[in-house]
Amino acid sequence: MDFKTDFKPMTIQPQEIEGLSFQMITDELGEHPYTEEQYPVVQRVIHASADFELGRSLVFHPNAINAGIDAIRRGENVIADVQMVQVGVSKERIYKYGGDVKVYISDPDVTEEAKRLNTTRAIISMRKALRESEGGIYAIGNAPTALLELIRLVKEGYAKPSLIIGMPVGFVSAAESKDELLKLDIPFITNIGRKGGSTIVVAALNALSIMADKRG
């Protein structure tokens, strides 16, 4: 069958599309409060979501960027709350320095323990992460209960993450968990409100890993 159309496919290369997109983001975002080091994260979050409101809602601990870059370059692991983060992140730049991307939420022992304690797998996965991945970057985009449990463990002195990227999406406890994260005196990247998600956390992680690679 012969399909006739006036549609002409774009011939621009992917790198050019990304560059054009980033320039459009910069033009449309205009003046902003972010530092030169923070802006690549903001830019990639907006690029991943096409949501300027979300981009403007990002909040950074003053040492967040350096802490994340240093953790990647030391080969520390990334601990994600769900597989979507593990699948989406550009793992090659994490692997390059000896790190890995870990997810524990679907492990059989996590499922069994969650049933035994009548709690969520997200909570138990954070407890397992402490036993198996000391320090590291915690990347939470889906489960507010994981973020709240991690915050509790930090407050009680059990957890000492190098960086928390906490941007769970949703209606139940999502915004509240981020409000609690803002109270911690450890490096974090978060946002205000209900928006977020695994794609957003992946964008922030990828921005950090690119900056870590450039620092070499």
- pLDDT per position as a tens digit, 141-174: 999 999 999 999 999 999 999 999 999 999 999 9
Q: Which two tokens stand for residue 29?
A: 């975002």
State how far the Cα of 129 lies from the Cα of 122, in Å rounded to an integer: 11
- Tens-digit pLDDT profile for residues 5-63: 565 565 566 667 778 888 999 999 989 999 999 999 999 999 999 999 999 999 999 99
Q: Which residues contact 75 (CB under 8 A, 6 or more apart)?
A: 97, 98, 99
Among the listed residues 157, 158, 165, 214, the one whose alpha carbon sits nearest the alpha carbon of residue 187: 165
Q: Where are the domains of the chain?
A: 58-215
- Coil/strand/helix, residue 58: strand
- Tens-digit pLDDT profile for residues 95-110: 999 999 999 999 999 9
- Residue 116, number of CB atoms within 10 A of its CB: 9
Phi, psi (rounded to 5 degrees) for 102:
-110, 140
The fold for domain 58-215 equals Rossmann fold (3.40.50)
Which residues are part of the catalytic machinery? 47
pTM over 0.85: yes
